[in-house]
Amino acid sequence: MPPGAPGSRSPVSSKSAQAQAVLEAAKNRLATTQSLLVTTQENYTKSSALLVEQQNKLGDIQTTLTKLTATTISLVRMIKILHS
């Protein structure tokens, strides 16, 4: 077909179509990456909140253990005094 005839593709329009396809693929990759970023940020936020919650529970457990240890020491002293 001669250049410019209906149905013919010039090198410029072929390159333009290729560039458009590359652009669309890049847009799709960007959209996917953005979606994954949002999901990752949401997971990070939830994980951080859960970590803080677990750290608070651990702190409560450590406080309880400290109190129990102090109580046990007092009881041991009382038993020693009673056996003296």
Integer Cα distance of 82 and 80 in angstroms: 5
pLDDT for 1 equals 46
Q: Looking at the predicted structure, is the pLDDT value of residue 7 above 70?
A: no
Integer Cα distance of 64 and 70 in angstroms: 10
Contact 79, 72 (CB under 8 A): no
Total Cβ atoms within 10 A of residue 30: 10
Confidence of residue 21 (pLDDT cuts 50, 70, 90): very high
Integer Cα distance of 79 and 70 in angstroms: 14
Percent of the chain at pLDDT exceeding 90: 65
Could you tell me which residue, 45 or 73, shows the higher pLDDT?
Answer: 45
Integer Cα distance of 9 and 16 in angstroms: 11
User: Does this model's pTM top 0.85?
Assistant: no
Confidence of residue 9 (pLDDT cuts 50, 70, 90): low
